[in-house]
Amino acid sequence: MANRKVYTDYFFDEPAFNTHDGGYVPLETPTTPQEKLRIPALLQPDQETPTDMTYTVTAQAGETQLLPGPKTKTWGYNTSILGKTIVFKDGKNIHVTLKNQLPEVTTFHWHGLNVSGPIVDGGCHAPIYPGESHQIDFKCDQVAATLWLHAHPCPETAEQVWRGLAAMVIVQDKTESQLPFPRNYGVDDIPLVLQDRRFHQNNQLDYMADYDPDGVQGPTPMINGTINPYFDVTTQRLRLRILDGANRREWRLHFSDNLKFTQIASDGGILPEPVDFTHLMLTCAERAEILVDFSQYQPGDEVTLYSDDVPLVHFRIHQFAKDDTKLPDHLVEIPDPPVTPNTKVHQVVMSGMDEQVEINGTKFDMQRIDDKQKIGNVEYWDISNTNDKSTGMIHPYHMHATQFRIVSRNGHAPYPNERGLKDTVGVNPGETVRLKVGFNKLGVFMNHCHILEHEDGGMMAQFEVYDPDHPKTYHLMDMDTLMTAFAKERGVKKEDLNIPGMHM
């Protein structure tokens, strides 16, 4: 175990980094005083028994002190920004009451959760109108992982997430509980939601002023809803559950002193083997759990986490007990079922940029099912990005309802940290990424680019997982119903609504 290779590469194609984009908004080092990193509280279950967990998740509007001076109007789940962290335990029956106390319609999408669609999954077919609530019930049926909850009322997903609607979800299971990982939440097991924002007059957000069809960005890093955060390190080892929760931004992460860190989990669960890095790039919606070992530091030292050359979090080192825990070379076994015989390779082509973005040559239509998958099928899906190699962008491709495996990138081995379960994968321009995808929940689900403005702009499709012995029909939303609701809630005529994605 002493001799694991240390990767020093971001792996993605450098000419496609978002820094090369004409509209790129570089991060700027915050000049406001350092603030203690906000750690989202754990959402307390309304009830927990040996078999069941019951929660209430409320989408609400509030105000958050983000900068000195006026508070910022923000949205969150059970809090004013982002959300309380929700824990689901594998094997339990989960009941969640979803409440909408916002002034407009929203949905509650469980990104990465293995549940039926389209209602429990919470995409655009599951609107909850202001003042209303709805209960969902499902069995938690997956391995330990770091997932998230976010709004998904297409084509208004991007703006609602920009206002703050994103929360961490942690799935726990028996296997994870027996591995030598830190798991004292808030002390040595820390969520890190990476986002960026621009603040306008009176410290307010103004999504429309910042609008860019290739993805909205701001110059100020915001971590767990904290600007310029520090974290007090009181243990030698720290587990960071990192989420790229930005609308558009890629994060190129590295620590001061090029401190080595170890990735132990990707989007959908623990990696088969730990992977050592000095540099790690995340594209939108991807997660990485990493372990950082501060043994070489003294109380009073500071270790900084950067993206490119901008500090994101200052880790202030305090006294800690010596910790000799060694990670095993092998962490978990990931089942790898064979592809269903006589199944052809499924093609998904992501093309265009700006308003031209499409999947398989067409824009999203809520009323159209693009593909049908038989329940239980395991298939190869080839995801291509036809953008130009030197001027195009990386599209982070995401699928609801499943955790896939990455088989290859243009026929080559996937990146070293892509050997575990994933639900989102950054696809380079000119590249085809082959996925092995299993379908084991019934329903209608979305697959799309996770640059939120591309998703809202129509770079999205949907598939139905069906059981030939029990065919079902689903009530699918339509754009007109949602736009009528938004218009009414905003007190404007439908023609005067200003939601960029609705025109694409």
Which residues form the interface with ligand C2O (CB under 6 A)? 109, 111, 123, 150, 152, 285, 398, 400, 446, 448, 450
17 within 8 A of 252, measured Cβ to Cβ: yes
290 - beta bridge partners?
A: 240, 263
d(CA 496, CA 498): 6
Closest distance to ligand C2O from the beta carbon of 293 (Å): 31
Report the residue number, 227 or 285, with the smaller CB distance to ligand C2O. 285
Cα end-to-end distance, the chain, whole Å: 52
By a kind-dependent CB cut-off of 5 to 8 A, residue 237 interacts, out of ligand C2O, Cu ion, none, with: none
d(CA 248, CA 426): 12
- Give, for 399, the enclosing helix (H) or strand (E): strand 395-399
By a kind-dependent CB cut-off of 5 to 8 A, residue 152 interacts, out of Cu ion, ligand C2O, none, with: ligand C2O
Report the residue number, 409 or 450, with the smaller CB distance to ligand C2O. 450
Report the residue number, 111 or 395, with the smaller CB distance to ligand C2O. 111
Report the residue number, 237 or 241, with the smaller CB distance to ligand C2O. 241
237: amino acid identity, one letter: R
Residue 177 DSSP class: H
By a kind-dependent CB cut-off of 5 to 8 A, residue 426 interacts, out of Cu ion, ligand C2O, none, with: none
Closest distance to ligand C2O from the beta carbon of 445 (Å): 8
Closest distance to ligand C2O from the beta carbon of 400 (Å): 6
Q: What are phi and psi of 50, to 5 degrees?
A: -60, -20
Report the residue number, 150 or 395, with the smaller CB distance to ligand C2O. 150
By a kind-dependent CB cut-off of 5 to 8 A, residue 454 interacts, out of ligand C2O, Cu ion, none, with: Cu ion
DSSP readout, 425-462?
EEE-TTEEEEEEEE--S-EEEEEEESSHHHHHTT-EEE
375 closest CA partner among 444, 449, 477:
444
CA atoms within 13 A on the CB side of 376: 4
Closest distance to ligand C2O from the beta carbon of 83 (Å): 14
Report the residue number, 111 or 409, with the smaller CB distance to ligand C2O. 111
For the record, the structure tokens of 428 come out as 């380079």
For the record, the structure tokens of 110 come out as 């469980």
Q: Which residue sits closest to Cu ion, CB atoms considered? A: 449
d(CA 109, CA 57): 12
Closest distance to Cu ion from the beta carbon of 276 (Å): 29
Closest distance to ligand C2O from the beta carbon of 270 (Å): 21
Closest distance to ligand C2O from the beta carbon of 435 (Å): 16
Closest distance to ligand C2O from the beta carbon of 98 (Å): 16
Residue 2 DSSP class: T
Report the residue number, 451 or 482, with the smaller CB distance to Cu ion. 451
By a kind-dependent CB cut-off of 5 to 8 A, residue 395 interacts, out of ligand C2O, Cu ion, none, with: Cu ion
For the record, the structure tokens of 75 come out as 């949205």
Return residues touching Cu ion (CB under 5 A). 111, 395, 400, 449, 451, 454
Report the residue number, 125 or 254, with the smaller CB distance to ligand C2O. 125
d(CA 164, CA 12): 28
By a kind-dependent CB cut-off of 5 to 8 A, residue 285 interacts, out of Cu ion, ligand C2O, none, with: ligand C2O
Closest distance to ligand C2O from the beta carbon of 246 (Å): 12
217: amino acid identity, one letter: Q
By a kind-dependent CB cut-off of 5 to 8 A, residue 448 interacts, out of ligand C2O, Cu ion, none, with: ligand C2O
Q: Which residue sits closest to ligand C2O, CB atoms considered? A: 111
By a kind-dependent CB cut-off of 5 to 8 A, residue 242 interacts, out of Cu ion, ligand C2O, none, with: none
What is the maximum alpha-carbon separation in the chain?
65
89 within 8 A of 177, measured Cβ to Cβ: no
By a kind-dependent CB cut-off of 5 to 8 A, residue 150 interacts, out of ligand C2O, Cu ion, none, with: ligand C2O
For the record, the structure tokens of 99 come out as 């409440």
Q: Kindly give the pairing relationship between strand 287-293 and strand 279-282.
A: unpaired
Report the residue number, 285 or 305, with the smaller CB distance to ligand C2O. 285
